[in-house]
Amino acid sequence: MALIAILASCKNEPDITPINPLAGLTKLKEGYAFGASAKVEIWGKKNLFMGYNSITVVLLDSLNLTDTIKDAHIHFMPEMTMGTGMMAMKHACPVENPKEEATNGVFPGAVAFIMPTSSDGAWTLDVMVHNHKYDKEGTASFAITVDNPTPSVMCVFTATSADTSKLVLSMVEPLAPNVGMNDIEFTLHRKESMMSWPADSTYTFVITPEMPSMGHGSPNNVNPVHVGNGHYKGKVNFTMTGEWKVNVAVQKDGNTISNNTFFTITF
Amino acid sequence: MWKNILFTVTLVVSIPIASQKNALQLAISDSVNLREVLVSVMLPLNNKDIVDFYRTNQFSTLDNITARLDGMSLIKRGAYALEPQVNGFSGGQLNVTIDGMRMFGACTDKMDPITSYIEPTNLKKISVKQGTGSCQTGCNIGGAVDMTLLEPEKDSAKTHFSSIAFGYESISKGKNLLVTLGLGKKKWDWLIDGVYRRNENYTDGNNQIIPFTQFEKTNIHSALKYNANKISSFKADALFDLAHNVGYPALPMDVSLAQAMLFAVEYQRKTTTELKAKIYYNQVIHIMDDSKRDSLYLLKSKPLEKSDSVYMRMDMPGKSSTLGAYAQLILLWNEKNKLTLKADNYTNNSIAEMTMHMRYARFAPEAPMYMQTWPAMLRNVSGLFAENSTYLSDKLNLVANGRVDFNIDNLQSKYGQEQFSVFNYSLAKTQSKWVKSLNLLAQYRFSNSISLIASTGYAERMPTIGERLGFYLFNAYDGYDYIGNPYLKAEKSNFFRLDLQFTQPNIKVNLNQSFSAINDYIMGITNSQIPAMNFYAKGIRVYSNVSQAKLYSADLQVLYSPLKTLTAFLLSKFTLGEINNSNPMPLIPPLKNVVAIQYEENNLSLQAECETALAQNRINIAYGEQATPAYAVFNVKSGYRFSLSKLGFNAGLGISNLLNNAYFEHLDWGRINRPGRSVEFYLKVSY
């Protein structure tokens, strides 16, 4: 691909430089969606982790394994099973299913895993595919391991408001923070039931970055606001490298309903 | 812009040494010759007289000498590297140069004014000019200090000379070693001079040891001169100065290394037209070090007896290098006019970094915190200077000069821009600015003994790198972190000065008054929106243009010799400053007087000196100033010269602060007492 890019630039026709949608990603899993005539590949930046995971799905025609399928309906169905036997309990987590039209030949989506794999609980990720090419449906099932990153990039908490909603706050950006002004992006999902975790656009945020060991914060931060689909975007400023703590007050109708929610960012 | 320049003037603090008949000899600058100089009795009083007067102690640091010059005060952060202040102006408001060469300290906290990299031993003379007219080396609003390096010169009697000297100060167990060596052969002359100093912590007038006042330094300078013929010569200079283990009691950190290197090549051609061209490079490396400090040192709420439960270490290296060149032409274009033209250019490259390492007891260290306190920046300044001296009559001389500087600042990395995005600045990679200066001086001679010099001028000066792009520069004086302002306007001054001189064979009197009306005065203004950087700092100040400020200074100097063997000297310095609505300007010294009497007969000299300052109660409380009490200090010195065969000996013995008073001056940061009684002696052997 790099070679193509170089050749393209040599020809001085940068407009037609093909975009590689998988640049910087690694293949995490692959398997067949039986019944859909599709091979499903799951690509991500790193191994799956507790937090908001951007997941790119590549569908290959299982007949020749070279043609990519560009028109399909994809559903992520993550499921955690906790405990065993009589005590076993199952729950899902927030997902963002890809659009039916592939983007640059692939299907970007996201899954926000709300807890890591542990001795007490195991995740599976089912990817249901409706292959529009043959109008066939099937599901690929993956046993996956969800890492527990340090520092954490997700807060799962119960709102202190009367409705005691269970909320999932994920930090999407900054992934590679710099000194200076950075984009900051959150997603917020609310638990409707064990299996349903829809995005919620009705909350507001106040962020206050601080450097605990210095006892200072930073000026001119912009509180994230809702931009669609449960995503909230703002700006965060870091005056130096080191260990930062970004305090996030989640608010509903002007009242803070979170308690000590923060993200630690070290760079 | 030019409309603003109604009258501009100069102030050249100088004392024109003009002969009665010839404008060609008119010199407008005042110089202090540090070595043997022939002084004509009828010349007006100038800095040279003062230095000659104080030359008895060969071991004076440059600071000791400059402290006694008119208009000069010193800002003190420790026993070492005092920062010059001229009539209330300091830092970027002054031009401090070495033979006209620009050189810049590498410390963001002004701990290394370039005077700290030069020793009196290196110097032939030091010249101080006050006011906007001192723009020969660069546009500035306060004045200029130029240090001329020692030159190898053919002594008609000798082809070589050498001297070695040793001095001791009891208060700091200070040991000083000085060496000078010169050789001449045919068309070549060479010299080398060097100093080694080592001082331990001194004791104040209360017999308390003041920690972190130690320092150690080595300095070597060498010059080689080739006289091609009677009119042309080439000269090369190299200077190396290394200070280490320098304590700064008024600051939360010390300096483990301050190192300067300077190289210069010069060509001179002297006929009726004088040409001087020079190329130079210098480099300063400055490394601050707090490894010997308790990291809770400055914390106000520090629990008693508790030290260092948190290990915070700061690593703050800075580097500044300057490459420059100038060409200067002095033309006598007719009998009554002398024209000086100078073109110069320099490029300064600087960067200062700070990395903080935090470690709580029993925990793993945190990720290092890194920032660029001066982002990597290249500043190029090109200037043109012209001055014309007109000899109108025996009574009246006129001098007009002007200068323009074109300044380009270029950020060398994205880091500076990214850092400043935090403050909502979208910073251009390159910024340029013109600054200018225009000055006029008239000297009127009422009689052989009385003359009056009136000068006026307008000048602008560029903000310094720290003022433009400084990023959390801690100022231990007011306890605030300072942040630069990329879009600061140039500081401007309208300057007026009157100099009255009275000269008789046995008495010289010099009374001068300067007034500067400053617009867009640059100082830090508290910004409560930006949080302080650490537990030490009280808050943030952002460099800003204050619409108006005023500075007034008056100096009186009297040198009186009632007998051939007896000389008395008086110096009174007074400065008054205000910013905006008549608030006192911070860091302005109170009235200071020095009275000295010297008795000199045959080979013996005796000198007694009394130095007093009034209390400074005109203070700026908002800035963080506190009143300073008055003080009086007495010093005595003696010197004796003799020779044994071919060797010449100079011996001296003195006592500083005779009464062991505990005192500090208003410009001393941290209100730290100066040294108590100290016995000093020196011995110099020359061949």
> Are the C-beta atoms of residues B33 and B48 closer than 8 Å to each other?
yes
Separation in Å, CA of B312 to nearest CA in chain A: 9
CA nearest to B373 within chain A: A240
Which residues in chain A have Cβ-Cβ distances shorter than 8 Å to B535?
214-215
B422 and A219: CB-CB below 8 Å?
Answer: yes
Q: Which of B368, B530, B533 sits opposite A241 (nearest CB)?
A: B368
B370 and A241: CB-CB below 8 Å?
Answer: yes
For residue A202, the model assigns a pLDDT of 93
DSSP helix/strand/coil, B484? coil
Which token pair is B277? 């061209």
CA distance B435 to B406: 7
Among A107-121, A150-164, B158-172, the least confident range? B158-172
Which token pair is B575? 């400065």
Helix (H) or strand (E) holding B525: strand B507-526
pLDDT (tens digit per residue) in B656-669: 999 999 999 999 99
Q: Which CA distances in Å does A185 have to A154, A191, A194, B76?
A: 12, 20, 25, 49
For residue B205, the model assigns a pLDDT of 94
All residues at 6 or more sequence positions from B603 whose CB lies less than 8 Å from its CB, including other chains: B640, B641, B642
pLDDT at residue B18 greater than cutoff 50: no
Q: Which of B417, B418, B422 sits opposite A218 (nearest CB)?
A: B422
The total number of residues shown for chain B amounts to 687
Which token pair is B631? 């003080």
Separation in Å, CA of A222 to nearest CA in chain B: 11
Which token pair is B543? 């460099």
A180 and B419: CB-CB below 8 Å?
Answer: yes
> With bands split at pLDDT 50, 70 and 90, how would you rate the model's confidence at B305?
very low
pLDDT (tens digit per residue) in A138-185: 999 999 999 999 899 999 999 998 888 899 999 999 989 999 999 999
User: Residue B342: which domain range?
Assistant: 2-686
CA distance B528 to B505: 61
pLDDT at residue B9 greater than cutoff 80: no
CA distance B613 to B607: 20
B533 and A219: CB-CB below 8 Å?
Answer: no
A213 and B531: CB-CB below 8 Å?
Answer: no
For residue A132, the model assigns a pLDDT of 87
Which residues in chain A have Cβ-Cβ distances shorter than 8 Å to B419?
179-180, 239
| Residue whose C-alpha is closest to residue B466's, from B393, B362, B377 | B377
Separation in Å, CA of A186 to nearest CA in chain B: 20
CA nearest to B481 within chain A: A216
More confident residue, B294 or A46: A46
What DSSP character marks residue A103? B
> Are the C-beta atoms of residues B150 and B123 closer than 8 Å to each other?
yes
Q: What is the ipTM of this complex?
A: 0.79
A239 and B371: CB-CB below 8 Å?
Answer: yes
CA distance B492 to A224: 43
All residues at 6 or more sequence positions from A168 whose CB lies less than 8 Å from its CB, including other chains: A93, A94, A112, A114, A154, A155, A156, A187, A188, A189, A190, A191, A197
Which token pair is A213? 């060991």
CA angle A16, A17, A22 (to 5 degrees): 130
Instruction: Calculate Rg over the CA atoms of chain B.
Output: 25
Buried (b) or exposed (e) across B116-135, using 16+ Cβ within 10 A?
bbbbbbbbbbbbbbbbbbbb
CA nearest to B528 within chain A: A219
pLDDT (tens digit per residue) in B186-212: 889 999 999 999 999 999 999 999 999
A239 and B415: CB-CB below 8 Å?
Answer: no
CB of A238 within 8 Å of a chain B CB? The answer is yes
Q: Which of A219, A220, A242 sits opposite B369 (nearest CB)?
A: A242
CB of A243 within 8 Å of a chain B CB? The answer is yes
Mean pLDDT of chain B: 86
A181 and B422: CB-CB below 8 Å?
Answer: yes
CA distance A171 to A155: 9
CA angle B447, B448, B450 (to 5 degrees): 60
For residue B610, the model assigns a pLDDT of 94
For residue B24, the model assigns a pLDDT of 32
Q: Which CA distances in Å does B249 have to B85, B305, B671, B672?
A: 20, 19, 10, 8
CA distance B512 to B47: 14
Residue with structure tokens 């070597």? Answer: B220
Question: How many A-B residue pairs are in contact by the CB < 8 A criterion?
Answer: 78
Q: Which of A181, A213, A218 sits opposite B366 (nearest CB)?
A: A213
Mean pLDDT to the nearest integer, A114-129: 92
Q: Which of A220, A242, A243 sits opposite B422 (nearest CB)?
A: A220
pLDDT at residue B261 greater than cutoff 90: yes
Which residues in chain B have Cβ-Cβ distances shorter than 8 Å to A244?
none
CB of A267 within 8 Å of a chain B CB? The answer is yes
For residue B98, the model assigns a pLDDT of 94
| Residue whose C-alpha is closest to residue B288's, from B164, B65, B105 | B105
Which residue segments constitute the domains of chain A, with CATH numbers given? 23-144 (2.60.40), 154-266 (2.60.40.10)
More confident residue, B570 or B358: B570
All residues at 6 or more sequence positions from B40 whose CB lies less than 8 Å from its CB, including other chains: none
> Are the C-beta atoms of residues B410 and B437 closer than 8 Å to each other?
no
| Residue whose C-alpha is closest to residue B278's, from B288, B265, B269 | B265
CB of A247 within 8 Å of a chain B CB? The answer is no
More confident residue, B157 or B162: B162
Q: Is the peptide bond before B531 cis (omega within 30 degrees of 0)?
A: no
> With bands split at pLDDT 50, 70 and 90, how would you rate the model's confidence at A14?
low
Mean pLDDT to the nearest integer, B326-340: 94
pLDDT at residue A12 greater than cutoff 70: no
> Are the C-beta atoms of residues B398 and B451 closer than 8 Å to each other?
no
Among A31-45, A86-100, B32-46, B322-336, the least confident range? B32-46
For residue B311, the model assigns a pLDDT of 64
CB of A264 within 8 Å of a chain B CB? The answer is no
Check which CATH number belongs to the domain holding B671 and give it: 2.40.170.20
Q: Which of A179, A219, A267 sits opposite B531 (nearest CB)?
A: A219
Mean pLDDT to the nearest integer, B466-491: 93
CA distance B442 to B393: 12
Q: Which of A180, A211, A242 sits opposite B418 (nearest CB)?
A: A180
All residues at 6 or more sequence positions from A6 whose CB lies less than 8 Å from its CB, including other chains: none
Among B64-68, B306-310, B415-419, the least confident range? B306-310
What DSSP character marks residue A193? B
Q: Which of A180, A181, A216 sits opposite B534 (nearest CB)?
A: A216
Mean pLDDT to the nearest integer, B154-168: 75
Among A84-88, A143-147, B459-463, the least confident range? A84-88
Mean pLDDT to the nearest integer, B216-242: 95
Q: Which of B366, B417, B530 sits opposite A243 (nearest CB)?
A: B366
Which residues in chain A have Cβ-Cβ distances shorter than 8 Å to B423?
219-220
For residue B39, the model assigns a pLDDT of 27
CA distance B284 to A267: 31
For residue A3, the model assigns a pLDDT of 41
More confident residue, B468 or B31: B468
Q: In what order do the strands lie in the sheet with B101-102?
A: B31-33, B123-130, B143-149, B94-98, B101-102
Alpha-carbon dihedral sign for residues A210, A211, A216, A219: negative
CA distance B214 to B174: 9
Among B157-166, B225-234, B251-260, the least confident range? B157-166
CA angle B212, B213, B214 (to 5 degrees): 95
Which residues in chain A have Cβ-Cβ distances shorter than 8 Å to B529?
219-220
> Are the C-beta atoms of residues A252 and A202 closer than 8 Å to each other?
yes
> With bands split at pLDDT 50, 70 and 90, how would you rate the model's confidence at B54?
low
Most confident of A214-218, B249-253, B485-489, B600-604: B485-489
Q: Are strands A38-44 and A95-96 parallel, antiparallel or unpaired?
A: unpaired
pLDDT (tens digit per residue) in A63-76: 888 888 889 999 99
Q: Which CA distances in Å does A129 have to A35, A39, A44, A202, B136?
A: 9, 10, 18, 31, 80
- Domains held by chain B: number: 1
Among A4-13, B150-159, B364-373, B615-624, the least confident range? A4-13
Which residues in chain A have Cβ-Cβ distances shorter than 8 Å to B295?
none
For residue A37, the model assigns a pLDDT of 87
More confident residue, A148 or B46: A148
Which token pair is A191? 């638990």
pTM: 0.86
Percent of chain B residues topping a pLDDT of 70:
87
